[in-house]
């Protein structure tokens, strides 16, 4: 019997069990906070409607919430890596109730050696809040904002894209198609739909593909560097971008 293999397997299942428990506990504490914002959750500080994870929460994270607004979540999971995505997500937050973002770089690791990449990391404050929020609303949308470089794309379609929209898989709903049409018509850009117009950057490995609640709709939004720079310098363009998403 190979005891090293047994020990490795046991360590894996122990870590997975601990992570699941931590996510459940964090979700529960955030549900309590949504019901009573005087009850600041453990591992967070709270000021002016913003929860910020302290050092005791390995995943880190920042949660903005307001009582009024559309039932949607604006989400910048890579604020340090995908330049300007947090600024763009904050603009979208003017329409939504929630803004989520990371406070640790995507190349940081937790106590188990796992990368704290909020696009893939299950045991995060953002995921816990999404699960908690789902119990307070009938339905909601999650708009996850990413950035890409055209010159790094592997297909001609990808190199020509300004935006690549998906729902984390190759099948696009009518709503995604409508968003793409709105962006193309009103912004005068090249917004492509993953699975129909382009076959890269579809968010197919994103953790929300399996974790997003059944009463939510997940939109994976990739923005080219050129478009991100245009959006942050043109308020009218940024406003129209937001309106196309939530319409």
Query: What pLDDT digit, counting tens, does each position of 99-109 carry?
Result: 999 999 999 99
User: Rounded CA gap, 139 and 101, in Å?
Assistant: 21
Q: Which among 171, 132, 175 is positioned nearest to 28, based on CA atoms?
A: 132
pLDDT computed for residue 13 by the predictor: 41
Instruction: Give the model's confidence band at 89: pLDDT under 50 very low, under 70 low, under 90 confident, else very high.
Output: very high
| Res. 3: pLDDT tops 80 | no
Cα separations in angstroms, 122 against 82, 118, 126, 207: 20, 8, 9, 6
Alpha helices (runs of H) in 113-173, residue ranges in sequence order: 125-134, 156-160
Structure tokens belonging to residue 22: 């931590």
**What does the pLDDT look like over 147-203, one tens digit per residue?**
999 999 999 999 999 999 999 999 999 999 999 999 999 999 999 999 999 999 999
The model's pTM: 0.92
| Per-residue model confidence (pLDDT) at position 21 | 84
Q: How far apart are CA 111 and CA 30, in angstroms?
A: 22
The model's pLDDT over 5-57, given as tens digits with 9 standing for 90+, comes to 443 433 444 445 567 788 999 999 999 999 999 999 999 999 999 999 999 99
Is 148 exposed, middle or buried (CB count within 10 Å of its CB: 0-12, 13-18, 19+)?
Answer: buried
Burial 87-123 (b: 16+ CB within 10 A, else e): ebbebbbebbbbbbbbbbebebebeeebebbbbebbb
Mean pLDDT, residues 211-223 taken together: 98
Q: What is the pLDDT of residues 65-80, one digit of tens each?
A: 999 999 999 999 999 9
Show the tokens assigned to 118.
Answer: 């909020």
Cα 85–chain centre separation: 11
Domains of the chain with bracketed CATH: 3-246 (3.40.630.100)
Sheet of strand 216-224, all strands in order from the earlier edge strand to the far edge: 44-47, 50-53, 62-65, 96-101, 70-76, 140-148, 216-224, 163-166, 191-193
The per-residue pLDDT for 118 is: 98
Alpha-carbon distances of 6 from 10, 14, 17, 67, rounded to whole Å: 6, 12, 16, 50
User: What is the pLDDT, as a whole number, of residue 2?
Assistant: 57
Q: Render pLDDT for 108-154 as a digit per residue (tens, 0 to 9).
A: 999 989 999 999 999 999 999 999 999 999 999 999 999 999 999 99
How far is it, in rounded angstroms, from Cα 73 to Cα 89? Answer: 9
């Amino acid at each position: 019997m190979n005891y090293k293999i047994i020990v490795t397997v046991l360590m894996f299942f122990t870590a997975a069990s601990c992570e699941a428990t931590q996510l459940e506990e964090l979700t529960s504490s955030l549900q309590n906070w949504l019901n009573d914002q005087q009850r600041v959750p453990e591992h967070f500080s709270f000021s002016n409607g913003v929860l910020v994870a302290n050092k005791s929460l390995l995943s880190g994270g920042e949660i903005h919430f307001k009582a009024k607004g559309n039932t949607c979540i604006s989400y910048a999971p890579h604020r340090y890596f995908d330049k300007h995505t947090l600024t763009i997500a904050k603009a979208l937050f003017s329409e939504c109730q929630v803004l989520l973002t990371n406070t640790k770089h995507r190349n940081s690791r937790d106590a188990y050696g796992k990368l704290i990449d909020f696009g893939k990391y299950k045991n995060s404050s953002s995921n816990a809040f999404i699960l908690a929020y789902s119990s307070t609303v009938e339905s909601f949308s999650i708009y996850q904002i990413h950035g890409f470089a055209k010159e790094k794309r592997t297909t001609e379609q990808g190199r020509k894209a300004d935006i690549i929209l998906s729902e984390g898989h190759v099948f696009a709903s009518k709503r995604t198609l409508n968003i793409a049409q709105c962006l193309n018509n009103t912004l005068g850009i090249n917004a492509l739909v993953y699975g129909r117009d382009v076959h890269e950057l579809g968010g197919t490995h994103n953790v929300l593909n399996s974790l997003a609640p059944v009463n939510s709709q997940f939109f994976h939004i990739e923005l080219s560097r050129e478009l991100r720079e245009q959006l942050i310098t043109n308020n009218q363009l940024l406003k129209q971008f937001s309106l196309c998403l939530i319409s």
